Amino acid sequence: MSAATDTLGDQIVAAGLAANSFLLDINGALHVPQGFPLPSPWNLPSRLFRGPLEVIRPEKGEPRKIGLMHPGLAAHPFVQHVEALGIEVAHEGITNAYGYTERGKGAWFHAVDLICEGLVGELIETQHFTDPASIFRAVVYGCRHSHHESRAGKGYITIGQARHIMRELGACEPDDRAVIIRQFSAPSLCRQDSGSEFWPINIGPGIVAEEQAWAIIHGIEDGWFSHDRAGFLQWTQLGRDRFTAGPATSYTEVSGQAAFAF
């Protein structure tokens, strides 16, 4: 389909929602313009709320399409503004000529964006815009990483906040606090060019998001993991020793002293 027959693209550009069809193709979405008034909760710093509309370019004989990134976004003020301009939005979502859509990313964006801002209560209140697996993965991300400028060593969220999220989602806490951690990849040293050492945490495949979240929470609480000065979570010496010891009730510390694996 040529640009001359791109009726929807012409309509979007004529409405002032995009500068031209070329940029519309590159962006693949319509984003809320700066200064557009958004009441709560739509003003939350979520990429899902800031880019509620997916736009797919015309190709392989199929026309341009525009649809919601999530069904609940039908009430979004910007979406309603677009529809008021006479642009028909597919509320059930859209796919391109190859059956692909960006829609699935919205759940992850919403969860991780609010986690990174420490907006735990707001995430719980708007959890219907995401899903439990995305929230659990966002908890893992929020515990593993930090604001490097001001919160290095603390994580985007605290362990207390992480536990609050797990309770609100009805996550079942494992009785064995170490069994999931031992399913992670074995600790492996990463030495940088500067000579500094880092022990990255590689979760590995096959561990569901809820279990990943509990493993990170327990690992921090029990000293298996800690943040470095750059704000990244890594294996501690204690954690490496306990991983090497396996499920034994005791292990030998690097100092040679015997210790219990509580």
- Show the domain range for 207: 107-260
What's the rounded mean pLDDT across residues 227-237? 91
Q: Are residues 173 and 245 in the same domain?
A: yes
Q: Tell me, letter by letter, the H, E, C secondary structure of the chain.
A: CCHHHCHHHHHHHHCCCCCCHHHHHHHCEECCCCCCCCCCCCCCCCHHHHCCEEEECCECCECCEEEECCHHHHHCHHHHHHHHCCCCCECCCCCCCCCCCCCCHHHHHHHHHHHHCCCHHHHHHCHHHCCHHHHHHHHHHHHHCCCCCCCCCCCCCCHHHHHHHHHHCCCCCCCCCCCCHHHCCCCCCEECCCCCEECECCCCCCCCHHHHHHHHHHHHHCCCEEECCCCCEEECHHHHHHHHHCCCCEEECCCCCEEECC
- Number of domains forming the structure of the chain: 2
Which pairs count as long-range contacts for 217-223, CB under 8 Å and 24+ apart, including other chains?
217/139, 217/143, 217/159, 217/162, 217/163, 217/166, 218/174, 218/177, 218/178, 218/180, 218/181, 219/181, 220/143, 220/159, 221/159, 222/177, 222/178, 222/262
pLDDT over 90 (residue 1): no
pTM for the model: 0.89
pLDDT over 60 (residue 258): no
Percentage with pLDDT > 70 across the chain? 90
Q: Are residues 89 and 116 in the same domain?
A: no
What does the pLDDT read at residue 91? Answer: 97
Q: Are residues 136 and 15 in the same domain?
A: no
What does the pLDDT read at residue 3? Answer: 44
For 114-145, the pLDDT digits (tens) are 999 999 999 999 999 999 999 999 999 999 99
For 57-88, the pLDDT digits (tens) are 999 999 999 999 999 999 999 999 999 999 99
* Average pLDDT value for the chain: 92
What does the pLDDT read at residue 5? Answer: 86
Domain-ending residue, one of 84, 102, 120: 102
Q: Are residues 77 and 46 in the same domain?
A: yes
pLDDT over 60 (residue 259): no
Q: Are residues 118 and 234 in the same domain?
A: yes
For 14-59, the pLDDT digits (tens) are 999 999 999 999 999 999 999 999 999 999 999 999 999 999 999 9
Domain-ending residue, one of 51, 70, 102: 102
Q: What is the CA radius of gyration of the chain?
A: 23
Q: Are residues 65 and 181 in the same domain?
A: no
